[in-house]
Amino acid sequence: MRHLNDGLLRLSVDEPRLVSEGQHVHLRECMACQRRRWEISASAGRVSRLLVEGVQYVDAQAALASALRKARPEAVRRGRPLAAAASAIRAAHRRPVALLAATLAVLSAGAISGLAQDLVTLLAQPHRAVVVPVAPGDAAGLAALADYGTISYSAPPLTRPASSAQAAEAEAGYAPLVPGAIAMGAPESVSYRVTPAYTVTFTFSAEKARAASQRRHQPVVPMPADIDGASLYVDVGAIVYAEFGSAAGGPPLLGTARMKTPIVRSSGVTIKRLQDYLLSQPGISPGLAARIRGIDDPAHTLPIPVLSTDARPEPIEVQGVAGSLLEHTAAAGTVIVWVKDGFAYGVYGSSSVGDLRAAAESAH
Amino acid sequence: MQPCERASRDADFERLFHAEYARVVGVAYQTIRDRQEAEDVAQEAFIRFHERYPPDASFAAAWLCRTAANIGLTRLRSRRRREHRELDHVRGARYQLVDPEEVLEAREQRRLVRDALRRIAPKKARVLALRYSGLTYTEVAAALGIRPDQVGTLLRRAEAAFEKELDRAALE
């Protein structure tokens, strides 16, 4: 049989199942073809390391609004509410101080840290919240876990502005968190937003995991048979935000978020087993795995991922329960989170740590 | 077009958008390596599609990926705007990438990759963009209008050309 050409050898690197049995036999027996295949595979690996730098998350809903606006402006003006909501989401993501809002919004959109939240949380009835700093490199690894299966939503996780506190409460089913004391003075503006409740379902697939690892030319820990086809469900409660700022606009001086604590369920395999499998994947750094595994009382702790290279969470007490405070020097903001009576709460902003602690302590 | 037909077509377009947008952004990103511009490119591809074809066309996904790659490569060749934006990105990220050497290294690598993609033949740059954004051989073939068994050959040639140009760019 003639030697395999470069195209077939390249195919055998990525999709060996598409190579015929006769060609496989030749490849097993021909040293020249094996050597050439190794060279081609090495070249593909080098190119892959340079080119595989995917976009980790896109907000399709906001992008659709933008595309429709460009294509047919009157459609948006006539009654598509997407543009306003998209703008609110984008604004939240752009404000570096809105850390918690961003985290929860990201969670609600199923993005990187949200996916981390979805996939690594060991929740039953969480009694406390802990901030888990996630470095950008780890975030990429977590995002790559999305390729290990299929993610779906019961409803589009879209955050919408609400016209008033009452309107926000009517949509979420519970009122926004309001600080009793705002030490920085009377706010000149307040706005409300709501992300309705929804369920995220992630179904594991050994075939997808294998294909993803081949695409990236990375080794992959084989997916155990009992995990292949197993599903993880995350019931995310409605999230209601209130943000207080100056009349001049800009980032909020103080914001609050309130949500029902998420409930994580699985089918086919225990959540602990899924966590162990995911944390052993090549894209997850030992540091992040250790931080997640090191959470005390994981069955009752809600980890809140925050993208950060320098953040150091600090345990604090808020309203008589354990909470977590994170000063994010890069974003010049602070986040305080806690869980109480079946709800997760957050206070965040660019005010001083003391002011934010006072706001959290007095919030109701 | 009747209002009910238009509503139905809009609904189909929204479904198509949600199903394919992330992938089309991924293809565009492989060419221009700028997140914001990749989204602009993807939206432009969808708009062009929306203006020309019904949203349930069987070739929609392949057409969108190919068009995104083409628009991305065209924009890659008008580099001034792109590099200006990248500089802004690096400035904005100075707190995230705290090590100045890391910032410079990332910039330099992005520049080398872009230069190499710009110099190789558009057909080769297209196949790299499509494959390395995650499309299967079958999907790449559909987007390029070739047979799946031709993808390996084209991809191998593209990778070789890319590496060669990368070496050349590194020497300049």
Question: In terms of domains, do A243 and A332 share one?
Answer: yes
Cα dist. B162→A50, A186, A228, A339 in Å? 11, 59, 37, 52
**How many A-B residue pairs are in contact by the CB < 8 A criterion?**
106
Q: How many CB atoms lie within 10 A of CB B149?
A: 13
Is A350 a domain residue? Answer: yes
Residue A316 pLDDT level (bands cut at 50, 70, 90): confident
* Residue B133: CATH number of its domain: 1.20.140
Phi/psi at B97 (nearest 5 deg)? -95, 90
The verdict on A218 and A141 lying in the same domain is yes
In a domain, A66, yes or no: no
Chain A residue numbers touching B157 (CB-CB < 8 A): 6
Closest CA to A347 of A237, A262, A241: A241
Q: Report the alpha-carbon distance of residue B79 to residue B85 in Å, rounded.
A: 10
Give the domain range for residue B31.
3-171
Question: Which of B21, B133, B149 has its CB closest to that of A58?
Answer: B21
Write out the two tokens for A241.
Answer: 């935000």
- Contacts with A93 from chain B: Cβ below 8 Å: none
Q: Provide the residue-wise pLDDT of chain B in tens; the chain has 172 residues.
A: 566 666 677 778 888 888 888 889 888 988 888 778 888 899 989 988 888 888 888 888 888 998 999 898 888 877 655 555 444 443 433 333 334 555 566 667 777 888 888 889 988 999 998 888 878 888 888 888 888 888 999 999 999 999 999 888 777 6
As for how many domains chain B has, the answer is 1
* A65 or A320, higher pLDDT: A320
User: Which residues, including other chains, have CB under 8 Å from residue B43's CB and lie 6 or more apart?
Assistant: A63, A66, A67, A70
Is the CB of B8 inside 8 Å of chain A's CB atoms?
A: no
- Which band of pLDDT confidence, cut at 50, 70 and 90, is reported for residue A296? low
- Domain ranges, residue A134: 96-362
Q: Is residue A173 part of a domain?
A: yes
Contact B153 A7 (CB under 8 A): yes
Q: Are residues A133 and A201 in the same domain?
A: yes
Do A25 and A168 lie in one domain? The reply is no
pTM tops 0.80, yes or no: no
Cα separation, B65 vs A47, whole angstroms: 20
- Assess whether A310 and A193 both reside in one domain: yes
Question: What is the complex's ipTM, to 2 decimals?
Answer: 0.76
Question: Token digits for A251?
Answer: 């980032």
For residue B155, list chain A residues with Cβ-Cβ distance below 8 A. Answer: 7, 10
The encoded tokens of residue A317 equal 């007490």
Half-sphere exposure of A154 (CA within 13 A, CB side): 12
Q: Is residue A255 part of a domain?
A: yes
Cα–Cα distance for residue pair A242/A109, rounded to 1 Å: 19
- Pair A37, A114 in one domain: no
Please give the tally of structural domains in chain A.
2
Closest chain A C-alpha to B126 CA, distance in angstroms:
13
Pair (A37, A176) in one structural domain: no
Determine, for residues B47 and A15 on separate chains, whether the beta-carbon distance falls below 8 Å: no
